[in-house]
Amino acid sequence: MRGNIAEYLTARLARDRPDILERMKAGEFPSVRAAAREAGIVRPTATIYTDNVDDALRAMLRHFSREEIIRAIDRG
C-alpha cells in the first residue's frame, strides 16, 4: 500500500475494526496510532538503552511492576 503510516492504519481499521474507526472519527482517540493500539493492530513499544543496567531497569519499571520483572527473570 502506498501512503503514510496513518493512512495504512486507517485502512486497517476500516477493514478489521470499523467500530473503532467510528470512535476515532468521533474524536475518542488522540491519534490514529492510539486507535490502532486499541484495535490490537499495533503494540505499545518502548526504547530501553542497554549500556547501563540501572537505567534499563528504571525504564522497564515505568511499564512493568517489580513483580512482573522478577517473574520474567525467574522464567528465563
Range of the domain at 27: 5-39
Signed CA dihedral, 52, 53, 58, 62: sign only = positive
What's residue 2's pLDDT? 58
Q: Is there a single domain that holds both residue 18 and residue 35?
A: yes
What's residue 1's pLDDT? 54
Q: Is there a single domain that holds both residue 30 and residue 50?
A: no
Q: Compute the C-alpha angle 61/9/30, nearest 5°.
A: 60
Q: Is there a single domain that holds both residue 34 and residue 57?
A: no
What's residue 76's pLDDT? 81
Mean pLDDT per 10-residue section of the chain, whose length is 76 residues: 82 97 98 96 93 96 96 93
Predicted TM-score (pTM) of the model is 0.71
Cα–Cα distance, 12 to 36 (Å, whole number): 8
* Structural domains of the chain, count: 2
What's residue 3's pLDDT? 63
Q: Is there a single domain that holds both residue 11 and residue 33?
A: yes
What torsion, rounded to 10 degrees, do the Cα atoms 8, 64, 19, 35 define? -40
